[in-house]
Structure 1
C-alpha cells in the first residue's frame, strides 16, 4: 500500500472544509485542502468587477450572545478574531412596502425599521395590539436558541451530566413535534402583516413557511436580532483567514486541483486522485482520512473509485449496495432552495444619495404584503420569479473594505430562486430569461429608490445554474438540504456508513445551512475526528458519578432514618 502522507485530505474549500481543516491543523494534524476553483471559499468568495471586489455570498452574518451562538467558541478556539475584522451592521434590516397604486408619491412608501437588541419593543410599537403574541414569540425563539448554545463536546462535565434535564429532553420533544414556522406564527400572532415581517428573510432559508422548520428560524432570528455583522474585506477575508490558520500550522491549501476520484483499499478511503489544472497533470495523494466538503451525492455517484482496490476487496456490486445504503439516509431530502442575485456596481455612495436607505432593505409590494399569511400565499414558488419580493444590500452603509476607490460601491439584489426554473432552456433561451428577469428586478429597485439606476455602472445576474457551475452542488443550492426537518433527520451524516475514514463537512450536514451552518458543520466534524471516543468515555464517567451520588444519597438516608 502507498505511504499515507496526510492525516486529512479535504476535498473543497468551502467554509465547512476550511473550518474543519483549521481545527485539525491547530490540533497538530497534517492537512491538505484541494480546491478545484482558482479561488478558495466556495460561496464565501469575492470576485473583481469594475475596479472593486464583489462579494459572491455574504450579505450579513448573525452574531448572537455567548448564550445562544456557538460561533463564539469556534472563533476563540481558532483565534479567528485576530485575523478578521468584524463590522457591526446598523440594524437588522428595514422592510420597505411599496404601494404602486397610490396616487401620491409621498403616500406610496411605508418603512418598518427593525433594530438590533430592541427588536421586540420596536415591533410592539408598530403592532401594539399584538404585544402578548410578540412577547411570546421572542421568549420562544430565545429559548430555542439557548438550547443550542453548545455542542456536547464543548460542555463541561456538569453541563453534560445534567444535559438530559436542561437540554436533551427539550430536543427530543422538539424533534418529535417537528414544528413549522407557519404553524408556530399562527399559534402566537393574529396579524398577517406582522407574521410576514417576522418571516421576511425566509428567502435566505426556504421557500415555504409551512415546510420551513421552526428550530432553524428561531436560532437564526434570535442571533440576527442581537447583532448582524459583516466581515471587512468580504467573505473572501473569512476564507483566507481560515486558510492562513491551516498553513500556519503546517497544512497546505491548493487551488485548481480538481479531485476526480476517492481512492479505496477494500472498504477504506486511502487517498484521492486529482487533476492539477495548472500543471495539466493527474496526480494521486494519500492520507489517513478523507473529508468531503462538497455535495455528498456527487461523492457517492462520481468520486468513489470502486476499481482502485486490492484483490481482497468486495465486488463492485457489493460495494454499490453499501453506497446505496449511504444514499438512502438522504433519499427523502430535497434541494429546492437556492438564490438569484443581481450584482451591481455604483459610481456614487448610495448612503449619501439615499440617507434613509438601510444596509439591508427588504423590498415588498403592498399587494403581496396585505395578503393573508397562510399556506396558499406563503409558498413562494407559486409566485413568478420576477414578482417575488427581494432584499437590496447597500454595502456603502458600512466600511466594507471591498473598494479603495471613491467611485465604486457595491449593491446586491437577491431573493429566492430554484434550479427548476432555469432547467430545460437552451443557451439563447437561458440568456433571454436572465436578461428579462434582471431588468425586471432593476426596474422594481428603481421604484423603491427613484434615481438609483442612474448611478449603476455594472450589473450582472447569477442564477442557481451559476452556483452549480462554481460549487458543483446538485440543483445549484448553496444551502445543502432544504431545512424541512429538525436535527439529524434533516441533514447528512458527518461520516460515511459504508466507507471507512470518509467524512463529510459541509452545509449538507448537521446542524444546518448558511455561513454559520458551514462553520459549525466543519467544526463539528473536526471535533468528532479528533476525539471519536468522547461520548463513550464521557457517558461512562457520568454513569460512575451518577451511581456514586446515588449510593451516597442512599447511605445518607439510611444513616438518618
Structure 2
C-alpha cells in the first residue's frame, strides 16, 4: 500500500520490538501493538516491573496462597490423563526437591521445554508434535546503563530513539540475516527517565541500548573470549549512542551487557529467544493457541496467545487465569 521506502522504514522503526524480518511479521499483531503505542504513548510500571510482581504476590498471599521463588520445575506429573502436581527444587543447587500436588499446573516455561523435559511420554511427545513446525523468534543483545547526569540533562527528549544502521535504505535491508556488525546495525535506545519509571535515585537514570541478535553469534567462544567480545560490543554500542547524544558515554556510571546466552541462562528459553515463537501470521493471536496434551495443564507466557512482549505475556496470564475458574469448580 506504500511505495516510499523512507515511510516504510519509519513505520517499521520498532520492528525489533517484535521480530527481525518485516516480511514474516504478522501485520494484525504488529498493527494492534504499534497502533496502541502511537495512539496512547509509552507507559511503564512505576518502580519497575518487579513492583507489579510484588503486588500480585501480595494478592495471592492475602487470599491464602503462597509464592516460593528461586525454584525450578523438573517434572509435571500426570495421573489418568490429568495433571496431578509438579516436582521442583532450588534453581541453582538442585537441592530441597519437593513435589507439590495440584489439580492445575500453569506452565510459564518455554513450551518446547515443557514438551521435551517436563512431561513424560506420551504427553510430552504429543505436545512436541503439535509445535514441531513452529519457528522460534530471534534473541536480543542489550546494554543496560546507569546515567549520572541523566540523558534528559544532556538534551535527550525522547523515550525511544532509533539509531539507524548504515546501508539501510529499504525495508528489505532490515531482513538481512545474519545482520551487519554491531557498528552498523540498527539499534534502539530507551531512556526511562522520560517516563515516571522511578527506577533510579534523583539525579540518576536507567537506559538501555538494544538490538536484534542470535544465539549462534555467541557460540564457540571460550569464557575469556566471550567476556572480551561482551566488552567490545558494549564499547561499540555506547560509542554509537554517544554519536547521537554527545556526552552520553561520559555520563555512564555503570553498564552491563546481556547477550542471547544471558537470556537463555536466566529464562531457560531455547536459543535465548526473547519472544517465544516467532510472530508470523500463523503463530500470533488466536493462531498461537496451544492445545494442552493433558487436562489441567495451562500455558501463560510469551510463548502462548496472543504473543511475545511484556503486554503479550500479561494478557496471556490474564486469559489463563479466567480459564482456570472451570478447573477450580470441578474440584471444589
Length-normalised TM-score, structure 2:
0.90
Distance 1:506 1:448, change over 3 A: same
1:380 offset after TM fit, Å?
4.2
Partner secondary structure for residue 75 of structure 2: strand
Q: CA deviation at 1:492?
A: 4.7
* SS of equivalent residue, structure 1 residue 230: coil
Tell me the equivalent position of 1:123: none
Q: Distance in 1 between the 2:312 and 2:9 partners? A: 24
Give the CA RMSD over aligned residues: 2.1
Change (3 A) 1:352 1:405: closer
Identify the residue that residue 310 of structure 2 maps to in structure 1. 515
Please give the residue correspondences for 1:92-491 in structure 2 after superposition, counting only pairs within 5 Å: 188-227=1-40, 228-276=42-90, 280-304=95-119, 306=120, 319-320=121-122, 322-354=123-155, 356-365=156-165, 367-369=166-168, 371-374=169-172, 377-386=173-182, 387-406=184-203, 408-486=204-282, 487=284, 490-491=287-288
| Separation (CA, whole Å) in 1 of partners of 2:190 and 2:88 | 38
Provide Cα deviations, 1:98-141, integer angstroms capped at 9, x if missing partner.
xxxxxxxxxxxxxxxxxxxxxxxxxxxxxxxxxxxxxxxxxxxx
Q: Which has the higher helix share?
A: 1
1:276, distance to aligned residue in structure 2 (A): 4.1
Question: What SS does structure 2 have at the residue aligned with 1:328?
Answer: helix
SS at match of 1:352: coil
**C-alpha distance 453-276 of structure 1, shift in aligned 2 (>3 A):** closer
Segments of structure 2 that go 5 or more residues without pairing to the other structure are 328-332
CA contact (8 A) 1:233 1:401 kept: yes
* Shift in Å, 1:405: 3.9
**Residue 490 of structure 1: how far off its partner (Å):** 4.7
Give the conservation status (yes or no) of the 8 Å contact 2:107–2:298: yes
Q: Deviation at 1:373? A: 2.6
Partners of 1:205 and 1:337 within 8 A in 2? no
Per-residue deviation at 1:481?
A: 0.2
Aligned 8 A contact 2:162 2:186 in 1: yes
Distance 1:404 1:489, change over 3 A: closer
Unaligned 5+ segments in structure 1 are 1-187, 307-318, 533-561
Q: Is the 8 A contact 1:396 1:410 kept in 2?
A: yes
Structure with greater Cα Rg: 1
Could you say what secondary structure the match of 2:14 adopts?
helix
Contact 1:336-1:419 at 8 Å conserved across structures: no
TM-score for both structures, normalised by structure 1 = 0.55
Question: 1: CA distance between counterparts of 2:206 and 2:240?
Answer: 18
Distance 1:490 1:467 in 2: 26
Matches of 1:460 and 1:252, distance apart in 2: 33
Note closer, same or farther for the CA distance 1:516–1:437 as it changes in structure 2 (3 Å cut).
same
**Is the contact between residue 136 and residue 276 of structure 2 (CA under 8 Å) also seen in structure 1?**
yes
Deviations 1:52-73 (A, max 9, x none): xxxxxxxxxxxxxxxxxxxxxx
How many residues align? The count is 323
Alignment of 1:17-96 (within 5 A): none
